[in-house]
Chain A
Amino acid sequence: MIRSRRLLFAAALGATFAALTAGQHALEARARSHDVTAPRFEVDPLWPKPLPHHWVLGNVIGVGVDANDHVFIVHRNDTFDAPTEIGAVQNPKLSDCCVPAPPVLEFDPAGNLVNAWGGPNKDYDWPASNHGISIDNKDNGDTLLTGLIVDQALLHGLLRKIRDLGMPLLSVTRLQTPKEEEK
């Protein structure tokens, strides 16, 4: 649990936005003068290959590439409209299609699906919303951030972000996860 001043948080965000806007204008001006080079791309509509098992993706909120150029994506597989999108897993079954894909999918460089995993498991707590952090404004003006911090790296990154935003940190409190509370 991390506490900070709410007003400072908002002001810091505003400043960041202003800086980004100014940066964009500068970039556009330079682009117009044709004296910049930049990476160029074109869309590959046939990557990745169609998924098996009538699987469909929910909101895709993460993508990463490993050393072998395998592409990992994570999506929220609970963001479907049940009657129109995932009729095959309703009770009674409505249609032959579709089925939510597992949350983490791994593709090889050719776009073949090579692995699929994720979701609730007895060994860990799968995030309720894969990358969610809740923000709660308290009556006394404090802001309470609550979320699952899975490792030291994520905690460090979060603390650094709060520092960069110029928000005074009041406290950090470790909460028990629901699974720990059971023990």
Chain B
Amino acid sequence: MNTRSLLLGGLLLLAPEAPRFTADPMWPRPMPNHWILGSATGVAVDARDHVFVVNVTDTFNQRTETGLELDPPSAECCMPAPNVVEYDAAGNVVGHFGGEGEGYDWPEMNAGVAVDPKGNVWIGGQGGADSRILKFAPDGKFIAQFGEGAPTGAAAGNPRGGDTAYGGVSRRSAPQLRTRGPVRLPAQPASSNSTTMFGGPARFSFDARANEAYVADGYRNHRVAVIDLASGAIKRYWGAYGKKPDDAAAAKYDPSAPVPTQFGVVRCAALSADGYVYVCDSNNDRIQVFTRQGKFVKEVRVAPQTLGAGSVWDIAFSRDPAQRYLYVADGMNEVVHVLDRGSLTELTSFGDGGRQPGQFYAVDAIAVDSKGNVYTAETYEGKRVQKFTFNGVGPVTTANTGTVWPQSARRAGP
């Protein structure tokens, strides 16, 4: 063995091992009907490896993006896709639903999506007055809505309620937006100690044995709520460090200040197979870990210099039985952080900002299929879903691997 291979061997030994991925630029396949996705806020994979994507269908500039829906049409393209699009593993559109229907109120702005142990599809809401969770059969048949509706009061022409997430380019195109959802309601205050309604419920995870769902609650509220899977009744809830949540206005996140004692925007509550709840406190750049009963276990800060909407937007577990790795979608730094789940140390990250395959604009949601492949959804003007093929666990030598293309196609030179 010569010096060079010794050195290389030494480096490989020192390098941590982590899951590695390659962007698949041909997944999903083109959609029919000139459909395009709006801001994609959620992605989930079911037991058949079908991928459900939710998107906000009124985030288009009708003049430049959706001319086909005008009357008369201004162009041959494009049409907003339905709010929920279902793809099979090969990337074909095999189902779709969403929007107003009998017996329920579609959210002002749909947030995350999750598939429960029975294969049903749960949808959250992040609009200023969204206080409910919707549950549908996989084919879009309405099953239940959980949580009280916000007081209707005087319906106001409040375009975005209290939500400021959609400060993207769509704000400039707001005059061209046509409201397709329900009448906009006045933005609601937080209600983190309510036992009857949610405050911008974002995402969900499930405990089939206990018949419970964990709700990231949410965009207005500052808590995790655990509900009965069938009835939707709130059984218990907690705030940061497992304490009672407090809706008093928190100071703006400051990386150099002591860590906040309350949650900011709670965007995920992901239950691991071994019974720990991983919570995305997105704008506070941290993950907090709890037992099922809400006892605080530990926390970790992720890219703590990140301002704005923060670095922790969604979490998915790797598919090995031990769920050894956490994948953290970071829509501000435009990467997916790969953490060792046991120690919560960051091993590497992949991705970069941009519109090419494997790059991100506001990566909002992340999910994993049975083969370990990763799917991401991009909100704001990202408006797409992407697949990253799992290449197994191996040495990772750099903190950020950048845009993960096949080695042969990666950037050469400076």
Interfacial residues, chain A to chain B (CB-CB below 8 A)? 45-46, 49-52, 54-57, 81, 83-85, 87, 92-98, 110, 112
Contact = CB atoms under 8 A, between A and B. Distances in A.
B263 to A, nearest CB: 20
Q: Which of A57, A83, A84, A97 has the most CB of B within 10 A?
A: A84
A84 B353 contact: no
Contacts of B230: none
A83 B362 CA distance: 11
B167 A81 contact: yes
B308 A87 contact: yes
Nearest to B403: A50
A92 B352 CA distance: 20
Nearest to B414: A52
Most buried by A among B303, B311, B353: B353
Interface of B: 25-26, 167-169, 171-172, 303, 305-309, 311, 332-335, 352-359, 361-362, 380-381, 402-403, 405-406, 409-414
A96 B303 contact: yes
Given A81-B380, A94-B307, A57 B355 contact: yes
A43 to B, nearest CB: 9
Contact of B307 (A51, A52, A92, A112): A92
A95 B307 contact: yes
B167 A54 contact: no
B268 to A, nearest CB: 19
A81 B332 CA distance: 13
A94 B359 CA distance: 18
B353 A94 contact: no
Contacts of B411: 49-50, 52, 112
Given A84-B380, A87-B308, A96-B333, A50 B352 contact: yes
A85 B108 CA distance: 24
15 contacts: A45-B357, A46-B405, A49-B405, A49-B411, A50-B352, A50-B354, A52-B411, A54-B353, A56-B353, A57-B354, A81-B172, A94-B332, A95-B311, A95-B334, A96-B333
Considering the complex of A and B, which 6 residue pairs feature the smallest CB-CB distances, nearest first?
Answer: A45-B25, A98-B353, A97-B353, A95-B332, A50-B403, A97-B334
Contacts of A81: 167-169, 171-172, 380-381
Nearest to B358: A50
Q: Interface of chain B, helix or strand or loop or mixed?
A: loop
B169 A50 contact: no
Contact of A95 (B171, B308, B361): B308
A93 B255 CA distance: 12
Please report whether the interface of chain A is mostly helix, strand, loop or mixed according to DSSP: loop
A112 to B, nearest CB: 6
B361 A85 contact: yes
Contacts of A54: 352-353
Nearest to B169: A81
Given A49-B409, A51-B354, A95 B402 contact: no
Contacts of A57: 354-355
A45 B387 CA distance: 14
Given A49-B405, A50-B354, 16 more contacts: A45-B26, A45-B357, A46-B25, A46-B357, A49-B409, A56-B354, A84-B309, A84-B380, A87-B308, A92-B307, A93-B307, A94-B306, A96-B303, A97-B335, A97-B352, A112-B411
Given A50-B403, A50-B405, A83-B308, A97 B333 contact: yes
Nearest to B413: A112
B402 A50 contact: yes
A57 to B, nearest CB: 7
Contacts of B413: 112
Contacts of A85: 168, 353, 361, 380-381
B113 to A, nearest CB: 21
Contacts of A96: 303, 306, 333-335
B350 to A, nearest CB: 12
A129 B305 CA distance: 34
Contacts of B311: 95
B119 to A, nearest CB: 32
Contacts of B168: 81, 84-85
A102 to B, nearest CB: 15
A92 B169 CA distance: 21
B331 to A, nearest CB: 8
